[in-house]
Structure 1
Amino acid sequence: MKKLNPRQTQAKILRIFRKVHRATGAALFLFFFILAITGILLGWKSNSKNLIIPQSYKGTASNLQNWLPVDSLHKKALFVLKDSISADLSTELDRIDIRKNKGMVKFIFENHTWEIQLDGATGNVLNIGKRHSDFIEDLHDGTILDTWFNTSAKPFRVIYTSIMGLALLLFTITGFWLWYGPKRLKKHRNKKLNTNV
């Protein structure tokens, strides 16, 4: 087998990296497109004027000693959910988001996108809104597949984020080499020309 000189070796590596870069891009195009769009939307969620996520409103007291018990606030949120939105919606909570500095508590539900914000001190409703950001986050990190298939350990999210993370790392390395490789070849060629002169 013929031994390649350094310039031929660099050119061969460059061709391999170009093929890998192109093949990865073609195979994962749709996923990169979804990742990019959802990433942009999540970056803008707080500045979306309630389109992606409801604005956080301010309650009357930031001192927790003046707040109603969390159990009372929870019962109030469930009443508001059934009375003001729909009696058919699930009451299973995903989380309770306490915003002490804002004097407000958010009740975020597991099986739908509604959120209810209550004043921590009075229990008054500050806002009822839809959290489109949760769906976007689930799409962004692959959790949507775990939701559809009702998996508890979230294997789809782990597989999806691992593949996309490794693909992005591969894109970074091959992309850098596609930029740097030709410069290195040109430098090597110029050095050889100067030596021959």
Structure 2
Amino acid sequence: MRATVLNRKVHYWLSLGIALPVLLVLLTGLLLQVKKQVPWVQPIENRGTGKSPTVEMAQILAICQSNPETGIQSWADINRLDIRPSKGLIKVATEANLEVQIDAGTGAILQIAVRRSDWIEALHDGSFFSNAVKYGIFLPSGILLLVMWLTGMILFVQPMWIRWRRKRQAGQSGKSVER
């Protein structure tokens, strides 16, 4: 079997094998690219007061517990804190995929909204399903996508290479050699 035919077959069958994981990675990647502009993906950041946070850690938990909409009972319900001094903002990401935005100066709750970007990111890298799927399907799909890119580049460049070589050979055979 010629290398060109083999290259086409490899490219063809790999595309079938990685179609669904790559489609999921592409779609979620597009959503993650615009997450700051699309409130459905990630809540818009509000501005708080002041540039230096005055709210302490214990107060953050108490503020979140004071509003039943947050569903926060203890620190175990909080996934992470994101403190933005330049915006006067403390973002509390919950285990239930909510984001509580707190004014870092006054301690007032500015917004409680669903945060889907973490869930979308987990879909994007395959960890949403399991580590076995992440490393057993998504990682190989990424590697195979790289192989497809290489075979695609070969398929793209090969006709130009052949035309260039033929022109060069035709040009050399028409010239007389003088010494």
The TM-score range, normalised by the shorter chain, is 0.7 to 0.9
Matched ranges for 1:14-163 at <5 A: 14-48=4-38, 50-64=39-53, 67-80=54-67, 83-86=68-71, 92-110=77-95, 112-146=96-130, 154-163=131-140
Contact kept, 8 Å, 1:143 with 1:156, in 2: the verdict is yes
Contact kept, 8 Å, 1:63 with 1:103, in 2: the verdict is yes
Q: Secondary structure at the match of 1:122?
A: coil
Query: RMSD over aligned Cα, in angstroms?
Result: 2.4
- Identical positions, percent: 26
Note the C-alpha offset of 1:161. 4.4
Question: For each residue in 1:104-124, what CA deviation from the matched residue of structure 2 results, as whole angstroms up to 9, or x when unmatched?
Answer: 1111112x2211111112110
Q: Distance in 2 between matches of 1:164 and 1:46?
A: 28
Q: Secondary structure at the match of 1:47?
A: coil
Q: Secondary structure at the match of 1:115?
A: strand
Contact kept, 8 Å, 2:98 with 2:113, in 1: the verdict is yes
Contact kept, 8 Å, 2:79 with 2:94, in 1: the verdict is yes
Contact kept, 8 Å, 1:73 with 1:120, in 2: the verdict is no
Q: Does 1:175 align with 2:160?
A: no
Contact kept, 8 Å, 1:45 with 1:53, in 2: the verdict is yes
Contact kept, 8 Å, 2:42 with 2:117, in 1: the verdict is yes
Note the C-alpha offset of 1:195. 4.3
What's the TM-score once normalised by structure 2's chain length? 0.85
Unaligned runs of 5+ in 2: 175-179
Q: Distance in 2 between matches of 1:158 and 1:70?
A: 37
Q: How many residues align?
A: 174
Q: Secondary structure at the match of 1:77?
A: helix
Question: For each residue in 1:147-168, what CA deviation from the matched residue of structure 2 results, as whole angstroms up to 9, or x when unmatched?
Answer: xxxxxxx454344442133122
What's the TM-score once normalised by structure 1's chain length? 0.78
Unaligned runs of 5+ in 1: 1-10, 147-153
Q: Which structure dedicates a bigger proportion of its chain to helix?
A: 1
Q: Distance in 1 between matches of 2:146 and 2:6?
A: 16
